[in-house]
């Protein structure tokens, strides 16, 4: 036992107060009238009787009260030594990623997730009663379900109430979470991980999953680790149009799927195309051993509006699939009449509409009809009737049209502006309003041309390729997407930062060539040159058709209104600028629930797609959409992490890390901790004060009787 403030023990001198009250108090004499004292003999009366302690119980209570108050101010504490499991935090982590939907194997009909929960409950049952434990779930993120508590009922309820997810597993998130936990919990941590130990859940850098020195990892592998024991056929990817105008158009009305076998023998599979619950096409395919096969399904016969589609793979020869949950891939297709595109061009610009119209018609994924009109004839044009607007080397626009286009963009429309040579003469880019500092003619200045020096590959227009099998963006670095071959002879130079634009393509001398700006709920895509072959040779390059295709789908919002997404991605509901403040959005998840509250519906900018299935969306600009959401296809590969890597991770390979863990754990287990007993002392003082009051009232009554 010790004291945190021992100098307060000097207050023990106050114990003399009860002694003075009970022993040294003066004898009180009550004078009485008497006639004469002449016949009394003078003598000395002894005072020994008056110097004895009286009312010992009252004295003891008063002394105890003073002593407890002094002791409380000294703040006493008891030393405790952490020993054994009572000083160790037990952390139970259950993997609830999509791959845990596979069968557990071994003749059991349960899934891996159900088996993991069962084994986790067994570990909790073996926990000592006083040991603290914590329950977590691991998917793409580490989700904390309980705080460190010793209550077995709370921990058991967290395990039993855990839900199966559709996310991709990440052991890197587990490592980061444990490192953060070790900074706040300064006791040894015993970590039990219940997972299928999927190889694809490992991060690119092994250091991301390394655990702190005070964490002891116990791995519980669920399911078989041999690929041959878990054969799995899956729909690896699907290529389908997001929008379709004519189901009879064989060039566009088709679906291409890739069926893959993972740890599988050669087999015959039936691949089916299902539209709104009805099978419209089927094919038998031979899938080679551990191989892939491409399947084309046509026609894509769909009604007008959004159709919920999926490609399914089923067994024909009776060979079992260990993971039937990934035997389908969801997507949506929207059928509508070809949308019109308003193409406003200058009077002298006759080539742009030819090149742009030919590229738009050749784009395999687009369903647009170009409607060209000169700037002189565009005064009564209504931008709201078109999918998007193109302004090509127009010069000054009619005021009515320019105001209508600005309003159109703010309300959710989009415009593609080719500045051309007229912007420099006017000094401003129409609609954008940015000032043009100069028109750079590279033919005159350097006698040649400028080339592209940098491309932002993260933007949908400049070459982001989405790998459907991996569910991730493949970001280009440097110059890509065909832009490296473009020769630019003329470009209008403007201050992109002042204009508030994002530069997507930049020339070698730093001049912005392609920019994007958000205005309200819409976008403005600005090309600093022209769409004819005089200011640049982009229309003559092979990359011009893909560029026009991606730009058309981006500006029309076609990619947002349908197609397929991957679990754990986000769908944007409104722009960051919030063009329509307070405009409600609506999200209906695959279970038919509306997860957004009224307050969130008026402010939220994006929504996470956390479950697989079909989501129905109503954007802030009033457009409706239906998207199919699929799990990350890397979860279909059930191959486990090699045993030697698991040993290295758990620290059981006899490395220096094991010795460091043991030394740290032993030192922390022997560490003494101070346990303050201040509250207990105050409770004793309170009890003494109450008892003193009761006994003191009886003492005063006795004094009155003696008097």
CB 112 within 8 A of CB 101: yes
Q: For each of the domains in the chain, give its residue range(s) and CATH number, in order of start.
A: 2-31+47-81+676-706 (no CATH), 84-228+638-669 (3.40.50.410), 231-335 (2.60.40.10), 340-561 (3.40.50.880), 564-634 (2.60.40)
pLDDT band at 444, cuts 50/70/90? confident
pLDDT band at 540, cuts 50/70/90? very high
496 compared with 320, residue with greater pLDDT: 496
Q: What is the pLDDT of residues 77-132, one digit of tens each?
A: 776 655 444 578 999 999 999 999 998 776 667 899 999 999 999 999 998 888 99
264: nearest Cα among 195, 220, 221, 313: 313
Q: What is the pLDDT of residues 547-565, one digit of tens each?
A: 998 999 889 887 777 889 9
The pTM (predicted TM-score) of the whole model is: 0.73
The yes-or-no verdict on residue 182 having pLDDT over 50 is yes
Q: What is the pLDDT of residues 349-375, one digit of tens each?
A: 889 999 999 999 887 556 788 999 998
d(CA 507, CA 580): 35
Region 317-335 average pLDDT: 88
pLDDT band at 688, cuts 50/70/90? confident
Taking the alpha carbons of 393, 399, 400, 404 in that order, is the dihedral positive or negative? Answer: positive
613: nearest Cα among 589, 636, 634: 589
**Do the strands 414-418 and 522-527 form a parallel or antiparallel pair, or are they unpaired?**
parallel
User: Residue 655: its pLDDT value, please?
Assistant: 44
Element (H, E) at 64: helix 56-74
373 φ/ψ angles, rounded to the nearest 5 degrees? -155, 140
Q: What is the pLDDT of residues 386-441, one digit of tens each?
A: 999 999 988 888 889 999 999 999 888 899 999 988 888 888 888 888 888 888 88
Helices (runs of H) and strands (runs of E) counted in the chain: 16, 37
Region 55-79 average pLDDT: 76
d(CA 93, CA 100): 13
């Amino acid at each position: 036992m010790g004291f945190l403030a021992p100098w307060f023990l000097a207050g023990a001198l106050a114990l003399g107060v009860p002694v003075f009250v009970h022993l040294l108090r003066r004898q009180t004499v009550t004078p009485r009238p008497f006639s004469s004292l002449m016949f009394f003999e003078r003598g000395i009366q002894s005072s020994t009787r008056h110097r004895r302690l009286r009312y010992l119980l009252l004295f003891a209570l008063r002394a105890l009260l003073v002593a407890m108050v002094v002791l409380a101010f000294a703040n006493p504490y008891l030393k405790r030594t952490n020993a054994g499991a009572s000083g160790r935090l037990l952390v139970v982590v259950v993997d609830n990623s999509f791959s845990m939907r596979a069968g557990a194997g071994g003749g059991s009909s349960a899934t891996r997730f159900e088996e993991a929960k069962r084994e986790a409950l067994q570990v909790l049952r073996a926990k000592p009663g006083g040991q603290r434990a914590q329950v977590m779930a691991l998917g793409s993120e580490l989700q904390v379900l309980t705080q460190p508590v010793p209550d077995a009922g709370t921990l058991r309820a967290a395990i039993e109430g855990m839900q199966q997810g559709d996310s991709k597993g990440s052991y890197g998130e587990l490592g980061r979470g444990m490192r953060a936990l070790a900074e706040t919990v300064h006791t040894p941590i015993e970590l039990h991980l219940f997972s299928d130990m999927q190889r694809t859940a490992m991060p690119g850098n092994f250091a991301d999953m390394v655990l702190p020195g005070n964490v002891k990892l116990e791995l519980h592998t669920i399911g078989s680790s041999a690929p041959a024991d878990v054969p799995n056929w899956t729909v690896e990817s699907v290529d389908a149009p997001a929008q379709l105008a004519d189901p009879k158009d064989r060039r566009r009305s088709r679906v291409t799927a890739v069926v893959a076998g993972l740890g599988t023998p050669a087999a015959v599979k039936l691949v089916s195309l299902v539209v709104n619950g009805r099978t419209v096409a089927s094919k038998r395919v031979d899938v080679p051993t551990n191989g892939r096969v491409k399947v084309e399904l046509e026609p894509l016969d769909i009604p007008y509006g959004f159709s919920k589609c999926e490609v399914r793979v089923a067994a024909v020869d009776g060979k079992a699939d260990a993971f039937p949950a990934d035997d389908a891939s969801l997507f949506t297709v929207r059928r509508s009449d070809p949308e019109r595109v308003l193409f406003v061009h200058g009077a002298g610009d006759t080539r742009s509409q030819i090149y742009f119209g030919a590229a738009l018609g050749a784009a395999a994924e687009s369903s647009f009809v170009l409607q060209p009109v000169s700037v002189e004839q565009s005064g009564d044009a209504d931008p709201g009737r078109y999918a998007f607007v193109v302004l090509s080397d127009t010069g000054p626009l009619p005021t009515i049209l320019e105001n209508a286009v600005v309003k159109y963009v703010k309300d959710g429309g989009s415009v593609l502006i080719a500045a051309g040579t007229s912007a420099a003469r006017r000094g401003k880019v129409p609609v954008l309003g940015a000032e043009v500092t100069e028109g750079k003619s590279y033919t005159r200045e350097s006698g040649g041309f400028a080339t592209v020096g940098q491309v932002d590959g993260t933007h949908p227009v400049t070459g982001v390729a989405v790998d459907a099998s991996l569910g991730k963006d493949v970001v280009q670095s440097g110059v890509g997407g065909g832009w490296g071959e473009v020769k630019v002879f003329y470009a209008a130079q403007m201050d992109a930062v002042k204009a508030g634009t994002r530069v997507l393509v930049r020339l070698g001398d730093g001049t912005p060539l392609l920019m994007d700006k958000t205005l309200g709920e819409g976008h403005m895509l600005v090309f600093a040159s022209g769409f004819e072959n005089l200011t640049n040779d982009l229309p003559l390059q092979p990359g011009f058709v893909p560029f026009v295709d991606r730009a058309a789908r981006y500006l029309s919002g076609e990619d947002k209104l349908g197609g397929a997404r991957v679990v754990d991605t986000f769908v944007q509901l409104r722009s960051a600028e919030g063009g329509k403040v307070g405009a409600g959005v609506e999200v209906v998840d695959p279970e038919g629930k509306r997860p957004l509250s009224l307050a969130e519906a008026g402010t939220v900018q994006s929504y996470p797609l956390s479950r697989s299935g079909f989501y129905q969306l109503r954007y802030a600009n009033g457009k409706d959409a239906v998207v199919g959401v699929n799990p990350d296809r890397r979860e279909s590969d059930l191959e486990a992490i090699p045993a030697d890597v698991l040993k290295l991770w758990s620290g059981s390979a006899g490395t220096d890390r094991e010795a460091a863990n043991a030394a740290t754990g032993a030192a922390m287990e022997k560490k003494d901790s101070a346990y303050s007993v201040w509250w207990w002392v105050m409770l004793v003082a309170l009890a003494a004060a109450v008892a003193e009051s009761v006994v003191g009232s009886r003492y005063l009554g006795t004094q009155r009787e003696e008097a």
